[in-house]
Amino acid sequence: MLERTILIVKDKIELIKNAKILIIGIGGVGSYALETLVRTGFSNITIVDSDIVDITNLNRQLMSLNSNIGLPKVDVFEKRIKDINPNCKVLKIQKFITKENIGELFNIKYDYVIDACDTIDTKKELIKYCLNNKIKIISSMGMGNRLDNTKIKLTTLDKTTYDPLAKKLRQILRKENISLKIPVVCSFEEPIKNNKIGSLAYVTGTAGLLITNYIVNDLLGELCQN
């Protein structure tokens, strides 16, 4: 399945196949990051999500179908991954991550951690753990109530604007003297004011694709500079 990928990355394909990825949250952003990582050739992936597929997921979450509503997201996506690449090693964890159990995720030495969850306390704990243990992490900021996917960029947390979630996360991290020089994907579009948070597939999907872009280019940095 990787013939077309190898035309671009050549012998670096082994770096991709052997890299160990942990992704927390496989919703609007995480599902697109996860699938594009698998299709790129990443073959050692741990997926973490406590939710089941809901009818409200159909507009933006890649694996969500009417036929799998009510099923655990990790089960649905494991089956999808195996249908794309039967050789991909998938560890699935259906659990909500907290300060108390976060250490249980790291029995494996990961090359990259993707924070695509919605809960700010979980984001903080993931960032804190990864920085303390020198593990590379990229975090997704808020993508709700936005229309323009061209305003989504890769940057660092300290440089985000128009993002209430990122602002709150910065405040929390500063209080604990945690670095803000963390790679993030965020939107520089001011969110539409609404009592509820809506989202669109092409917006959340763009964020997920940029996460994959970051990981591939970071992993193959030397190649990408040639």
Domain ranges of the chain: 3-224
pLDDT given for residue 221 in this prediction: 86
Query: Can you give the pLDDT at residue 225?
Result: 43
Band (pLDDT 50/70/90 cuts) for residue 222 is low
Residues contacting residue 42 through CB under 8 Å, at least 6 positions apart: 16, 17, 19, 21, 88
Predicted pLDDT of residue 95: 97
- The whole-angstrom distance between residue 9's C-alpha and the CA centroid of its chain comes to 22
For residue 211, pLDDT over 90 is answered with: yes
Comparing 91-95, 185-189, 191-195, the range with the smallest average pLDDT is 191-195
Residue 168 reports pLDDT greater than 50: yes
48-85 confidence digits (pLDDT tens): 999 999 999 999 999 999 999 999 999 999 999 999 99
CATH class of residue range 3-224: alpha beta
